[in-house]
Structure 1
């Protein structure tokens, strides 16, 4: 306190001088004697001479015993539109603008709620009066939007969901050279402008502004730069606050614990890729969340393919007017896992990936053989089978050339990259399992093992096993959503095979096509794939490569621990920046907490507090409580629990 009093008295004496050069003394005790280190504080205007001998700008020059001099400049940040999001000032706090330093002061003054409500009420009355008098329809619409926002704020304040504050954001930049400081500050201002934050400089009052962030200020000037905020907005300004996750694009996937909407964009520029995982116990809300994600994504042009092992999505997909592909003996739908199609890379080069198709088809054949007799699958047998499959494509003259998969003459066009390709042709008939069986049974090396795949052919006498022997009858073109239903396949034998085939088929026909379109593949009950080496390896590869085709993979599982047992599962988790956790079993929570660095409080929340649809959304290092809710119409479409009504759902919402 004595030091502050001396500082104040010296400042008062200097304020009486017309000179802008201020000299302060700093006293310390050293070796029993007073030691005086000369130091100076000088506020400069454009044209003033500085310590460097150059002409200055609006800034403060402070001498030091550590460095010759340091220059400071203050700006006040004003957030336009009143919109905030979690971590919006993180870049400022980190000071990533060049060779300089940043200090930030956030001044927060509480406002009496009654006064704020009275002010809002006056503004509402004024806008209602303006709407009556206004003739311009565009202006009327703007006024109605503003009126709706004010009424929402009025409701939050009345219910004590939020509290009002006056907020001022002051940012002080500093550097040891004026040139460096100018560059640093200009970079800072440009970054702020990109986030709809306007910078106001207190030119001519830079010293007062600098003192404003210390206890020395007797006349706080930050009050000249305040704006009204609510509790949630204030929290967004702090790196340790519980601000809501918001990408300002994409869809509203739910609300946080403060009832603020959470916007999610799987293609946000800050994410390393588009992938995600949804983890939770049975009945926690995983499938419901996937439907919310799918339905709302469709409205902004994101297309979705769903692998549905239990038939949970059938009602939803059909009522959306989209194809539900039921893979069963009684269904008209058939897909051929020998199908190939055209891929286009980022440079616009189109090709048919025959090698990958051969490998995938061989993996499916190997799975069929293992289902019958694992001991028969020797190395020489594998090599022979791959060779036969490759021969099937050669016989049809199918190569990496895109034209090779068509039968008739084509019309040639150019894509956006200037590469020429053909359209208008009809696809050649693709190889089928029966074709492969004929080759295997006629070769002495593979004749015996050929009998193991015979049941999967039309001549094998087992319609339930032969459903993948034939040309595809399914065509996916310009539909927002489609799903493969696997619930009618034998759970022990055919469902794993059918899952592999459906996943591989959609990859060639959907995920790896139309690179310019955002796509998502949802794989429910994905823990079953981790016990299958071929399928686990295939899925992990899809998680790594599909991002290059503008496709997001979304694995849904109630068996998280299964993922952690195999390297492929760990690879999937590692390649998923977005993770959505719902209610967890106590036996799983320790593993989940350790793998994802959740706090003890978050773990306790997921075990003891999370109700259906309530969980934690984790996007990279950001996390938020989320309630995945819906409109009554959406709920009627998505609900898979016959014991829950729309009214009950609305009552249990956070």
Structure 2
């Protein structure tokens, strides 16, 4: 790069060489415009969270550069002692000479004392912080106007700005993403003040962010970003509501992928096999329920359990829920009693009793349970109604022992190969398998359970109750339940659905249909402006709700690599397939032939 220095900036920015620039006293002339830089030398005594937001949302082109350098504890303590000594000496001298009290010095002394106490207790640290502003414009008159507006905005924030006189080049390079502070105009900040200056914050969200914060997207009302940590809320559950094509699955897959980066185990109930590409990319496990050779035995007992758990009794209760979902209606008291007796008798015939030492024996099959039901007068009718699942059209999934067990950091239960009449049953079986992992007392870790198209299960009363119980108990096992649906009526039209929403600390609403906005608006207490936003939102625009104090409109963003993994747009998929030929990925894709051998 060729540099030409001169004392005064010229109005011309046309150079004979495209890589040249002219350095003036306070301006830098680039081939495509001009810049002026300022260093912030004065700050307000107190600042709030996101106090840099007005500068970040400035409508013109303004580069805000924040340089942070930690100060060693020993050096920070020594400087604070010196500062306190100077302030105390000044105060005593003024008192001896009868001068009026300097309230600014008294306030500085109080601040220094509090900061020294915080450092001594290990509650914070000191940092050198440099804040610099670089303003861009096309012409010199336009630059002068922009400089005046930016300095006025900074003054309104109680920030004193000084031009980088005779250091325009150093100021410009300081504002570049090079991590080099050539001006070294710094001020000491403590941890709290520095955290408040963190530029990636949204003033709309007051909830704290822990070590599993996820970037959701950009704020729709400013240039800040929305970072949300579901595991730092009252509970870890979420509800995602949107009409078809609004981007709800895209958002859910994006959050799951970014949680995987942070070591969170994710399990997904996927009705349409939309997560297969993601599973292949990250080495996840994909189980295709309903595919040829894939068997699932609902009478299997969990291998891990607590010392006081009665696994057999819990399995009997789940089989009642499963049977009611299979039949599409609630069981009568007589049918429940007959089924419970048949379950216990079936396990006893297999040598399994309430003695934990017998729980490792091979479990009986659904066909064995139906055979036991046939032998009793009360269970004969129930056995006839379950016949399609053991000897009829739906028998393939239950016709044998379980062929594989879910394992891994990402587990996908794909239901695409199941007939529509079996989707609710498949969802319930998948959730039961996931819950066994979640409730395992020997393996506690952060987990996320995603139920995509939850309306498939919500339309069945027993399935809705099972989902509600998961929502209530997930937090106790360090897990979050993400309920995703495009049918707001099925979720909000029942007491159980409303209870699931009430037990979700994170609620994400994308574009809504006009027919559903009334129910959604009433359920989430939306303002008229929020309702209009959801009616006119583009794909990927959402409203994050986490109580009255946390409401933020955002635009969901993903990197090109993330987009290629999670998009379901047919046009984009065609381009991806053309650009990158399909290759077998590292994901464990569990399909089996009729003999049970892997294909």
TM tier relative to shorter chain: 0.5 to 0.7
Q: 1:363 is matched with which residue: 317, 321, 325?
A: 321
CA shift at 1:123, angstroms?
4.8
Deviation at 1:259, TM superposition (A): 4.0
Q: Which residue of 2 aligns with 1:473?
A: 403
Query: For residue 516 of structure 2, what is the aligned residue in structure 1?
Result: 588
Number of the residue aligned with 2:247? 285
Could you tell me how far 1:336 is from its partner in structure 2? 1.5
Residue in structure 2 matching 1:565, options 474, 477, 493: 493
- Partner of 1:583, secondary structure, is coil
Aligned runs of 1:190-589 on 2, under 5 Å? 196-197=192-193, 241-242=203-204, 247=209, 249-250=211-212, 251-257=214-220, 258-268=222-232, 271-328=233-290, 330-342=291-303, 349=307, 351-370=309-328, 378-396=332-350, 398=352, 403-406=357-360, 428-457=361-390, 460-462=391-393, 464-477=394-407, 479-491=408-420, 493-510=421-438, 512=440, 514-589=442-517
SS at match of 1:364: helix
Residue 278 of structure 2 contacts residue 565 of structure 2 at CA under 8 Å; is this kept in 1? yes
Give the secondary-structure state (helix, strand or coil) at the position aligned to 2:386: helix
Give the Å deviation of 1:430. 1.2
Q: Distance in 2 between matches of 1:630 and 1:253?
A: 9
Change beyond 3 A, Cα 1:516–1:366: closer
Structure 1 591/116 Cα, relative in aligned 2: closer, same or farther at 3 Å?
Answer: farther
Superposed displacement of residue 386, structure 1: 0.9
Whether 1:631 aligns to 2:582 is: no
Q: Deviations over 1:244-288 (max 9, x none)?
A: 8761532323222334343232211xx111111111111111111
CA distance in 2: counterparts of 1:645 and 1:362, whole angstroms: 42
Please list the CA deviations of residues 287-312 of structure 1 after superposition, one character each: whole Å capped at 9, or x if unmatched.
11111111111121111111111222
Which residue matches 1:99?
none
C-alpha contact (below 8 Å) 1:286/1:556 kept by paired residues: yes
Q: 2:170 aligns with which of 102, 109, 122?
A: 122
Deviation string for 1:380-402 (max 9, x for gaps)? Answer: 22201111112333444545665
Aligned pair count reads 445
Among 146, 159, 165, the alignment partner of 2:179 is: 146
Q: Which moved more, 1:306-315 or 1:517-526?
A: 306-315
Change (3 A) 1:339 1:16: closer
Q: 1:294 to 1:352 in 2, by over 3 A?
A: farther
**Equivalent residues of 1:308, 1:485 under 8 A apart:** yes
Structure 1 residue runs of 5 or longer lacking an equivalent are 1-14, 23-40, 46-56, 60-72, 85-105, 129-143, 152-165, 170-192, 199-226, 407-427, 649-654
Q: Is 1:108 aligned with 2:157?
A: yes
1:473 partner SS: coil
TM-score of the aligned structures, taking structure 2 as reference length: 0.64
Shift of 1:626: 2.1
Does structure 1 retain, via aligned residues, the 8 Å contact 2:374–2:380? Answer: yes
Equivalent residue, structure 1, for 2:13: none
3-state SS of 1:267 partner = helix
When structure 1 is superposed on structure 2, of 384-393 and 285-294 the one drifting more is 384-393
- For residue 551 of structure 1, report the CA deviation from its aligned partner: 1.3
Looking at structure 1, the residues matched to 497 and 105 of structure 2 have their Cα atoms a distance apart, in angstroms, of 62
User: Larger RCO: Structure 1 or Structure 2 (Cα < 8 Å, ≥ 6 residues apart)?
Assistant: 2
Deviates more, 1:287-296 or 1:611-620: 611-620
Question: How many Å apart are 1:482 and its aligned residue?
Answer: 1.4
Written as runs of structure 1 = structure 2, the 5 A alignment for 1:127-138 is: none
Distance 1:638-1:83 versus aligned 2 partners, 3 A rule:
farther
Cα deviation digits, residues 357-402 of structure 1 (max 9, x gap): 211112212333447xx8xx54222201111112333444545665
* Structure 2: runs of 5 or more not aligned: 1-93, 119-124, 132-154, 577-599
Q: What is the aligned counterpart of 1:617 among 541, 544, 548?
A: 544
Distance 1:517 1:44, change over 3 A: closer
Question: Quick check: 1:256–1:624 contact (8 Å CA) kept in 2?
Answer: yes
Change (3 A) 1:196 1:337: same
| Cα contact 1:310–1:487 (8 A) shared by 2 | yes
- Deviation per CA, 1:345-364: give whole Å up to 9, x if none: 6xxx5745332221111221
- The answer (yes or no) to whether the contact 1:308–1:483 under 8 Å persists in 2 is yes
**Could you give the per-residue CA deviations for residues 59-101 of structure 1, whole angstroms, max 9, x where no partner exists?**
8xxxxxxxxxxxxx999999958799xxxxxxxxxxxxxxxxx
